[in-house]
């Protein structure tokens, strides 16, 4: 029996750009709201800053010599499958994955990686993409990167710089006709209140929670959680999100924590994906439930 989704307001003529560090980030952060906006007629573009070349194999079933020998091509193919599942367009910014610096003290980043690229060089590439696609709304990571991976932090810096520069005709004049996106958001899906709610729901149903250990170590930061301004209802599209995640087979273990909480329970307990409105060039009243609040196609 086909799945039916609750009707969502028409978003035809509106454009949304997500800027992510690696292939798979677009599926683990904001994928359900992405799928919802696509279904509503919006044009969604994901810009992927790196090829994910240095990402570890996180799915034991894919930890094979043939995969490791061709990891760059494998991750591109995974991105293509996820792109098609989400119904988006996608482009590569063309930088090299920095990898996760492991050790104490941490080693220096590898030469030529995204984390070491001069900010203006990376910003100009993204400005070209912004001016070509002309998004009304952009999303990226917060200043911590969501987590402190050097590529995520650099992605934040480049995204914020490009959002500010894209509409300025004096910045990067050879990168296309100026275009000023109207709103900038940070992803906040991995927030403590959400994890606590899902954890308590699992225990209430007599199920083992995948978040017990993480929550025990997670220092509460109520002022950080209070930064969330926008909760987008998209629970009907969690299934699309899950399929996009599974497309990244080297990164996502189908038997791992991503799928430990039943989808029906997620839809009941926390049916939103959460964002922080950082900049708005249109009238905006928070809290919101829509990334396009205040935006019209001809804005």
Q: 1 falls in which pLDDT band (50, 70, 90)? A: very low
199 known member of a binding site: no
Residue range 187-201: average pLDDT?
A: 96
22 known member of a binding site: yes
Residue 3 above 60 pLDDT? no
pLDDT of residue 202: 97
Distance between CA atoms of residues 98 and 128, nearest Å? 23
In a domain, 256, yes or no: yes
With tokens 């969604």, the residue in question is 44
pLDDT of residue 5: 47
Q: 199 falls in which pLDDT band (50, 70, 90)? A: very high
Distance between CA atoms of residues 129 and 17, nearest Å? 10
With tokens 């990164």, the residue in question is 251
152 known member of a binding site: yes
pLDDT of residue 13: 96
In a domain, 79, yes or no: yes
In a domain, 241, yes or no: yes
Containing 116, the helix (H) or strand (E) segment is: none
Q: What is the CATH number of the domain that holds 139?
A: 3.40.50.10320
216-225 LR contacts (CB < 8 Å, sep 24+): 218/192, 220/192, 221/192, 224/191, 225/188, 225/191, 225/192, 225/193
Closest CA to 248 of 83, 132, 91, 43: 83
In a domain, 138, yes or no: yes
pLDDT of residue 69: 85
Each residue of 213-230: pLDDT tens digit?
999 999 999 999 999 999
Residue 71 above 80 pLDDT? yes
Show the domain range for 78.
Answer: 15-190+226-280
Closest CA to 5 of 40, 34, 31, 56: 40
In a domain, 276, yes or no: yes
Classify each residue of 102-140 as buried b or exposed e, where b means 16 or more C-beta atoms within 10 Å of its C-beta: eeeeeeebeeebbbebeeeebbbbbbbbbbebbbbbbbb
Tell me how far the alpha carbon of residue 113 is from its chain's centroid. Answer: 20
Each residue of 158-178: pLDDT tens digit?
999 999 999 999 999 999 999
pLDDT of residue 4: 43
Residue range 69-77: average pLDDT?
A: 93
Residue 294 above 90 pLDDT? yes
In a domain, 230, yes or no: yes
Residue 296 above 50 pLDDT? yes
Give the total number of structural domains in the chain: 1
In a domain, 255, yes or no: yes
Each residue of 270-283: pLDDT tens digit?
999 999 999 999 99
Residue range 66-93: average pLDDT?
A: 95
CB 174 within 8 A of CB 282: no
Each residue of 101-135: pLDDT tens digit?
888 888 899 999 999 999 999 999 999 999 999 99
pLDDT of residue 253: 93
Residue 42 above 50 pLDDT? yes
In a domain, 67, yes or no: yes
């Amino acid at each position: 029996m086909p799945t039916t989704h609750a009707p969502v307001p028409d978003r035809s003529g509106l454009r949304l750009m997500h800027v992510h560090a690696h292939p798979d980030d677009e599926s683990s952060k904001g994928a359900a709201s992405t799928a919802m906006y696509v279904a509503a007629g919006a044009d969604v573009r994901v810009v992927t800053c790196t090829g994910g070349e240095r990402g570890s194999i996180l799915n034991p079933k894919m930890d094979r010599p043939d995969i490791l020998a061709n990891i760059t091509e494998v991750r591109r193919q995974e991105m293509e499958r996820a792109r098609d599942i989400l119904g988006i367009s996608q482009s590569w910014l063309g930088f090299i994955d920095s990898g996760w610096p492991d050790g104490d003290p941490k080693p220096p980043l590898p030469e030529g990686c995204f984390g070491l690229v001069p900010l203006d060089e990376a910003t100009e590439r993204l400005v070209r993409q912004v001016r070509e696609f002309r998004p009304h709304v952009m999303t990226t990571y917060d200043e911590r990167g969501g987590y402190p991976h050097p590529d995520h932090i650099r992605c934040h810096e480049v995204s914020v710089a490009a959002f500010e520069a894209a509409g300025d005709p004096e910045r990067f004049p050879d990168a296309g006709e100026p275009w000023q996106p109207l709103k900038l958001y940070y992803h906040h899906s991995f927030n403590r209140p959400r994890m606590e709610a899902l954890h308590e729901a699992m225990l209430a149903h007599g199920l083992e929670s995948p978040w017990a250990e993480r929550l025990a170590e997670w220092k509460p930061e109520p002022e950080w959680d209070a930064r969330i301004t926008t909760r987008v209802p998209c629970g009907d599209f969690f299934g699309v999100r899950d399929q996009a995640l599974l497309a990244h087979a080297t990164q996502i273990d189908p038997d791992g924590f991503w799928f430990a909480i039943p989808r029906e329970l997620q839809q009941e307990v926390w049916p939103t994906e959460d964002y922080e409105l950082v900049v708005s060039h249109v009238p905006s009243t928070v809290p919101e439930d829509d990334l396009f609040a205040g935006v019209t196609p001809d804005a």
